[in-house]
């Protein structure tokens, strides 16, 4: 995306999940000659200018990618968001958080979301909507200013990401392509993805 000011956005690849339904680490599945983690990292870095993986060092340090770990383990995506926003503070105006298991994402979709971040500077979250109107919080932009809300909710033991988002000033938009948010959660999803090629 042309015209991105330095310090406007930093990408974060969320890769801390247990992949329990898949039965193996989703982040390391191969798609188009690269792991899902590497593909998502490269995509985010190309659009944002810089990116970092949020995940456990014992699993991903051998990949030689910029890496930070959750500050509190076992808190799901909300814990990953806390780590990303903590790292992003003082580094960029927005943290662009994307789960590593969305192989249909492309640069055009990410750039569309980035454009909304420019237009809605008063928001603390920019959330795309699926065709059914469901919010997609794991391909979204968040401001570091949202960190107090995230921390407060984690402190209460409520790990539901959507509860935190409900407490934030957020802008929502419909993206053009319904397949952008295809998640690979279980072997059947992976097989269906290959069948559609």
Domain limits of the chain?
A: 9-195
Mean model confidence pLDDT for the chain: 85
Helices (H), the chain: 36-48, 57-60, 76-88, 107-119, 147-155, 161-166, 187-195
Mean pLDDT to the nearest integer, 92-119: 91
57-63 long-range contacts, CB within 8 A, separation 24+? 59/15, 59/25, 59/27, 60/15, 60/27, 63/37, 63/38
Decide if 15 contacts 37 (C-beta within 8 A): yes
Three-state DSSP state, 7: coil
Decide if 114 contacts 9 (C-beta within 8 A): yes
pLDDT of residue 22: 45
pLDDT of residue 32: 73
Q: Which CATH number fits the domain 9-195, given the four candidates 3.30.70.100, 1.10.260.40, 3.30.450.20, 3.90.550.10?
A: 3.90.550.10
pLDDT of residue 181: 59
Q: Scan for tokens 């992976």, then name that residue.
A: 190
At CA 67, angle to CA 63 and CA 68, rounded to 5?
150
The 3-state secondary structure of 57-109 reads HHHHHHHCCCEECCCCCCCHHHHHHHHHHHHHCCCCCEEEEEECCCCCCCHHH
pLDDT bracket for residue 194 (50, 70, 90): very low
Is a pLDDT exceeding 70 seen at residue 154?
yes
pLDDT bracket for residue 55 (50, 70, 90): very high
pLDDT of residue 186: 54
Q: What is the pLDDT of residues 10-35, one digit of tens each?
A: 999 999 655 445 445 777 777 677 78
Q: Pull the structure tokens for residue 19.
A: 């992949």
């Amino acid at each position: 995306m042309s015209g991105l000011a330095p310090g406007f956005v930093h990408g974060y690849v969320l890769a801390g999940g247990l992949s329990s339904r898949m039965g193996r680490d989703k982040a390391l599945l191969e798609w188009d000659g690269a792991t899902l983690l590497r593909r998502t990292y490269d995509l985010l870095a190309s659009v944002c200018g810089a990116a970092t993986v949020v995940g456990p060092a014992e699993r991903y340090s051998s990949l030689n990618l910029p890496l930070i770990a959750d500050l509190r383990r076992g808190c799901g995506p909300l814990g990953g968001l806390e780590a990303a926003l903590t790292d992003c503070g003082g580094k960029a105006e927005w943290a662009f958080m994307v789960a590593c298991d969305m192989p249909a994402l492309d640069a055009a979709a990410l750039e569309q979301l980035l454009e909304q971040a420019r237009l809605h500077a008063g928001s603390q979250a920019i959330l795309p909507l699926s065709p059914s109107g469901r919010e997609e919080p794991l391909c979204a932009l968040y401001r570091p200013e949202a960190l107090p809300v995230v921390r407060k909710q984690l402190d209460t033991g409520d790990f539901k990401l959507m509860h935190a988002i409900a407490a934030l000033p957020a802008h929502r938009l419909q993206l053009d392509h319904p397949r952008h948010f295809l998640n690979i959660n279980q072997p059947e999803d992976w097989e269906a993805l290959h069948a559609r090629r």
